[in-house]
Amino acid sequence: MSINSTRRVGVVVALLGAAALTAPAIATALPSTGSLGSSAPEASCSTLSTEATPNGWGIPFTDEKDQTASYSADNVLDKDGSLKLAVDGTGDRSVSYHSAGGIKLSDAVGKAIGFAERAATPTAAFQLRLTGTTGGKFENGFTTLVWVPGPDATPTADGGVHADLQKGVWWSTQNIEGAKDRVSVPLADIVAANPNAVVDHYGVSVGTGSAATSTLVDAVQFNGCTTNFAKKDPASGTGSLGDVFGSLFGS
């Protein structure tokens, strides 16, 4: 090996090292660029959430931090696992959220809301954490809208999809215009009565009030984004690093 080729290898190794150091920084910086040029911060779409790489899914609220969900190798409708929601009694709750970036509720209901579930009976609920609602007790208009499976919900014993929940009925944890006393009403009616409502977080949950139970959830759909929950990262987890290498060596 000549001195020149040895030196070239050294340069390549240095480039690889730089790419490895740079790639995570790029990945971390990306979501923040979404806020440029828009009044409400954009929530990035997380198409995959795994035990090692939750991609923004979890519990950002300290008063709910113990109500954790877990990642399971058991499947709903695909082959890579799911999100497991489990409670051990009526006082327990299990939930996972993702930022919705403060999009308008009226815009959110223009796109499909849904998720896949496998449990003996339909169990999981969908949550929309709002601010900007009208008529409630909180100054910032905070409430949570909840969709729960009714008697006509899609069967889930062999895996099923709760689709088009934006057309369904929801109840509100706070009394607000259009949704009072925890009575389920059409989401469209809530939207009409709360024109300034925005969605800060969305999520899936079990409890409070359920007897000990568990369910598997997957393919959570909101605002044009579907998140696949999987137990493990894909085997080709170096894909993004490979792209960096490709751009380095392609230039």
Binding residues (CB under 5 A) for Ca ion: these are: 78, 80, 218, 228, 230
185 CA to centre of own chain: 24
- What's the min distance (Å) between Cβ of 232 and Ca ion? 11
Under DSSP, is residue 225 helix (H, G, I), strand (E, B) or coil?
strand
Token pair belonging to 106: 């009226």
> In a 10 Å sphere around its CB, with 0-12 CB exposed, 13-18 middle and 19+ buried, how is residue 225 labelled?
middle
For Ca ion, the closer of residues 80 and 189 by Cβ is: 80
For Ca ion, the closer of residues 71 and 170 by Cβ is: 71
For Ca ion, the closer of residues 78 and 189 by Cβ is: 78
- What's the min distance (Å) between Cβ of 158 and Ca ion? 16
Is 161 within 8 Å of 219 (Cβ atoms)? yes
Amino acid identity at 156:
T
For Ca ion, the closer of residues 75 and 184 by Cβ is: 75
Token pair belonging to 163: 């689709």
- What's the min distance (Å) between Cβ of 23 and Ca ion? 25
- What's the min distance (Å) between Cβ of 47 and Ca ion? 11
